[in-house]
Amino acid sequence: MANERTFSIIKPDATKLGVVGKIIARFESEGLRICAVKKIHMSKRVAEGFYAVHAGRPFFDELTDFMSSGPCVVMVLEGDNAISENRRIMGATNPDDADEGTLRKLYGAHIGNNAVHGSDAPETAAVEIAYFFAGTELH
């Protein structure tokens, strides 16, 4: 098993539902340690920069509008195989396809409002972590 870091967002729909504590507790109970965490309200510009890889896709405006619609919680998680573990805990992108008990099944409404985001690879995690956190913020 490899100790690694990953990036996670508790999205505006989940913060509005008031399940931030439950989501964080789930990560910790599954063996992921929080290295950094902060509550932010992304501007549209910040959301567009973060999701720039999706620019030009039909869902880009809807996604960036949603992500800038309210506060979210950004985190760096660490643990054995943190990227794959986080993705397992989150479940499939579409809550309708997610396994029972996963965060997206529990708290996601639909593919556009699916409660959480997580990095999909080590390279992505490094870029996403650096987008929101300075190295001195990681503990």
DSSP per-residue letters across 95-115:
GGGSPTTSHHHHH--BTTB-S
Cα 32 from Cα 47, distance rounded (Å): 25
**Burial (CB count within 10 angstroms: exposed 0-12, middle 13-18, buried 19+), residue 57:** exposed
Phi, psi of 10 (to 5 degrees): -90, 110
Cα 117 from Cα 119, distance rounded (Å): 7
Catalytic residue, chosen from 41, 110, 117, 139, is: 117
Query: Is residue 54 annotated as part of the catalytic site, yes or no?
Result: no
Cα 60 from Cα 126, distance rounded (Å): 22
Task: Give the residue numbers marked as catalytic.
Answer: 117
